[in-house]
Amino acid sequence: MLEVFEKISNIISEFEIGVLLVGKDQRIWWANDYVLKKYESKGNLIGKNYDVVMECDDNCKDVLNSSFSSNEIKRIILPFKSNEDQIEYCRIIFIPIKEGNRSIEQVLLLIINLSKSEKTAYEIFELNKFLSNVVLNSADAIISLDCQGRIKSWNKGAETIFEYKSNEVIGRKLDFLFPRSLIEEGEPEWIEKVVLENNAIVNYETERITKSERAIIASVTRTLLKNEENEIVGFSEIIKDITDGKKIEEELKNTVEELSKLNQIAEFIHSTHNIDELLNLMLTGVTAGEGFRFNRAFLFLYNEDKKVLEGTNAIGPSNPEEAGKIWSSLGKSKSLKDILSLYKDNVDKTDIEIKKIVQNIKIDISNNNNILCKAFNTGQHFIVEKDKAFDNETLNLLKELNTDHFIVIPLIGRKNSIGVLVVDNAISKARIHEEEIGLMRLFARQSSLAIENAKLYNSIEEKLNLLSKAYLDLENSQKKLIEAERLAGVGAVTAKIAHEIRNPLASIGGFVRIVKENLKDDDINLDSINIVVEEVSRLEKILADIVSFIKPKTISEKKIGNLNDTIEKNLKIMSEEFSENKIILEKYLFNDLPELYYDDWEISQVLLNLFRNAIQAMSSSGKLTIRRYLSDDMVKVEVEDSGKGIPENIIKEVFNPFFTTKSKGMGLGLPICKQILSNHKFDIDIRSELNKGTIFTLNFPLINNTKQQNLDF
């Protein structure tokens, strides 16, 4: 038989085919020249294990072994090591050799080197195997479609995502994966169109439906498949289930939105320090459509003095009818900012009913049965529902607030609770979700801090006001002091000058008088000397005025007295001058007014001065009106003339020393009056109208006067 092999092998060796005869013991019985030549380096092959010449994998061994038990001719492709240790692909044909009825003792192996094209095809095959493995096991759904869009393949990923087995879907169109609404919108056709136009649609986010009708969010990539002739041969479609990622993204987006909303409201509530405004803004934020969207909100603040939670403020409709009105008036387009601004302008104009309701509620905080107190004391929030309410206390509260549910959220400040916020959806009956509460708590925290801030700010402002008032008082008295010092300074210099002048003036005047006495009545110098005498007298009088202003009578003789007597007495002194100047006198003097403590002589000087001023203001004829009455705990005396009046630009100057509009006089009359009055802690005002007259008002306060009499002087 070996000869036969020889012959055959000689023939086939021309084709570079190796021939091996392998026994059951896996040893090489025989090899043709081609093999022998090829593996010369390995020495004599005969008798050696066949794996010397081939890298036999398990598959190869199995095939060889099985060849001994069946008559089948088997083929495998195997990588071979060449002499140069290069891998060559070979096709191996296993031919069992059977002689008669005996069992197979040898297998003939024909080893054929694969041609290049055969090799490439093999590689592609391997690659395909690899790829189909990849495709098969991918977690994404990978589906191939034919030109008509019918499913050709359906991988494990698709089975997992859509819950259909491959055999359920092969040959069907993809439509069963689309939600009905998207089919109605024409999405399947639209995708086809896009793919035909652009060769592909990539990562298109849409919705798909699983076998159990679960909606998933899917990212779809469909690609047009073409052959070398550019003919469409089908489509591949990859569908990724991005539902979870989307959900997280969605939640994140919501959270960010909510937070920015919260931030917006917080910004607003921190922008004001007016507590009422703040509370209103806060409640608006809770109820506004762009805010937390609760129907109503109630605010209870802790009253530290009374140890109670007091209903302070509320917002929202008190019943459904009102709700309709309010909501339709609000409109929908307004942003949160607009609504909050709008509210700022309309504080207290709305929600009066509900405010009344809440402001009637006061709860002792030691009452731990009360759910509001419980929230206040423990810092926890509670959802209260009528069906689940266990006690009368809570049921009553529900009734009072006219709702069947609410959430109570504690308002926690820096250290302690400052109150509670109660929200409900009494009108819309919308359920309140646990997630909303987290955010509400955050908001409540912000609000509490804002309320505390505002309270702090208000108390600081109050103190600041007191302080600035005190400062103002201080500044005023300082001004007065400076003025007094200035006058004292001026006074000291003036007094010095006055006295220095007085001595020489006295001797000038004295000697001139002696000369005058010695002159005869017809002396030509008599007139001149008289003038000197008069002028010296005038100078001395001026000096006396100055000196008495600077250093007025220092010992006041203050007594309890009736101003009317003083007024009457001085009017009598003036009566002659009045009639000389054709002045009519009108008196309105109330009797029985409280008595005052004053120096009669000094006040008389004041009155005389005012009367004389009045006469001068009226020049010839006029009316002088004197009034005395009680007003604002003060006795007031008015001296009114019907004279020419004082121009507005100089009215403030009339009390300044040395200010005068008269051709005669030093301008000390009114300053002396003012000084006398201020020594008494009395005061003087002036009002004047040009060509109508001037009114001087003397104010004699009752406090500061009679009571302090013993402290004075």
Closest Cα to residue 606, out of 540, 692, 668, 687?
668
- Residue 708 burial (CB < 10 Å; 0-12/13-18/19+)? exposed
Q: Is 554 a binder of another protein (CB under 8 A)?
A: yes
- Strands (E) in 593-656, as ranges, are 596-599, 622-631, 634-640
Q: Is 100 a binder of another protein (CB under 8 A)?
A: no
Q: Which stretch binds another protein (CB under 8 A): 146-154, 550-558, 574-582, 613-621?
A: 550-558
CB of 513 to another protein, least distance (A): 7
Cβ nearer to another protein, comparing 18 with 491: 491
Cβ nearer to another protein, comparing 43 with 504: 504
Closest Cα to residue 361, out of 397, 391, 404?
397
Cβ nearer to another protein, comparing 71 with 503: 503
CB of 534 to another protein, least distance (A): 11
CB of 604 to another protein, least distance (A): 19
Closest Cα to residue 361, out of 313, 409, 320, 323?
313
Q: Which residues have a Cβ under 8 Å from the Cβ of 674 and sit 6 or more positions away?
A: 655, 684
Cβ nearer to another protein, comparing 256 with 506: 506
Q: Is 548 a binder of another protein (CB under 8 A)?
A: yes
Cβ nearer to another protein, comparing 549 with 611: 549
Which residues within the stretch 200-259 sit at the binding site for another protein (CB under 8 A)?
none
Interface with another protein (CB under 8 A), residue from 114, 536, 585, 608:
536
Closest Cα to residue 177, out of 132, 217, 134?
217
Q: Give the CA angle between residues 569, 659, 480 to the nearest 5°.
A: 85
Q: Is 537 a binder of another protein (CB under 8 A)?
A: yes
CB of 632 to another protein, least distance (A): 37
In angstroms, the CA 367 to CA 300 distance is 15
Q: Is 551 a binder of another protein (CB under 8 A)?
A: yes
3-state secondary structure of 615: helix
Q: Is 711 a binder of another protein (CB under 8 A)?
A: no
Cβ nearer to another protein, comparing 372 with 512: 512
Structure tokens that stand for 440 in this block: 């509400």
138-to-53, 130, 173, 201 alpha-carbon distances in Å: 39, 12, 22, 20
CB of 544 to another protein, least distance (A): 7
CB of 523 to another protein, least distance (A): 19
Q: Which stretch binds another protein (CB under 8 A): 61-69, 113-121, 537-545, 672-680?
A: 537-545
Which residues within the stretch 487-526 sit at the binding site for another protein (CB under 8 A)?
499, 502-514
Task: Give the H or E element holding residue 277.
Answer: helix 275-287
Interface with another protein (CB under 8 A), residue from 310, 385, 400, 540:
540
**Distance from CA of residue 573 to its chain's centroid?**
77
Q: Which stretch binds another protein (CB under 8 A): 437-445, 544-552, 583-591, 615-623?
A: 544-552
In SS3 terms, 44-104 reads as: CCCCCEHHHCCCCCHHHHHHHHHHCCCCCCEEEEEEEECCCCCEEEEEEEEEEECCCCCCC
Cβ nearer to another protein, comparing 533 with 666: 533
Q: Residue 609 carries which side chain, given as an amino acid letter?
A: N
CB of 609 to another protein, least distance (A): 19
Q: Are strands 232-241 and 308-315 parallel, antiparallel or unpaired?
A: unpaired
Instruction: Report the side by side order of strands in the sheet with 683-689.
Output: 583-589, 622-631, 634-640, 693-701, 683-689
Interface with another protein (CB under 8 A), residue from 200, 275, 336, 547:
547
**What x-and-dash track marks residues 452-491 binding another protein by CB under 8 A?**
----------------------------------------
CB of 681 to another protein, least distance (A): 22
CB of 591 to another protein, least distance (A): 37
CB of 549 to another protein, least distance (A): 12
In SS3 terms, 422-449 reads as: EEECCCCCCCCCHHHHHHHHHHHHHHHH
Q: Is 129 a binder of another protein (CB under 8 A)?
A: no
Cβ nearer to another protein, comparing 17 with 512: 512
CB of 553 to another protein, least distance (A): 9
Instruction: Report the side by side order of strands in the sheet with 296-303.
Output: 362-364, 308-315, 296-303, 417-424, 405-412, 382-385
In angstroms, the CA 76 to CA 87 distance is 16
Closest Cα to residue 402, out of 286, 461, 508, 314?
314
Cβ nearer to another protein, comparing 347 with 536: 536
Cβ nearer to another protein, comparing 18 with 657: 657
Interface with another protein (CB under 8 A), residue from 196, 544, 573, 650:
544
Beta-carbon neighbour count of residue 213 at 10 Å? 8
Cβ nearer to another protein, comparing 242 with 533: 533
Cβ nearer to another protein, comparing 510 with 647: 510
CB of 501 to another protein, least distance (A): 9
Cβ nearer to another protein, comparing 460 with 490: 490
Structure tokens that stand for 363 in this block: 């709860």
The dihedral formed by the CA atoms of 516, 517, 519 and 524, expressed in degrees to the nearest 10:
30
Q: How many residues bind another protein (CB under 8 A)?
A: 24
Closest Cα to residue 426, out of 406, 400, 397?
406
Query: At which residue do the structure tokens 């600035």 appear?
Result: 468
CB of 666 to another protein, least distance (A): 17
The residues binding another protein (CB under 8 A) are 499, 502-514, 533, 536-537, 540, 544, 547-548, 551, 554-555
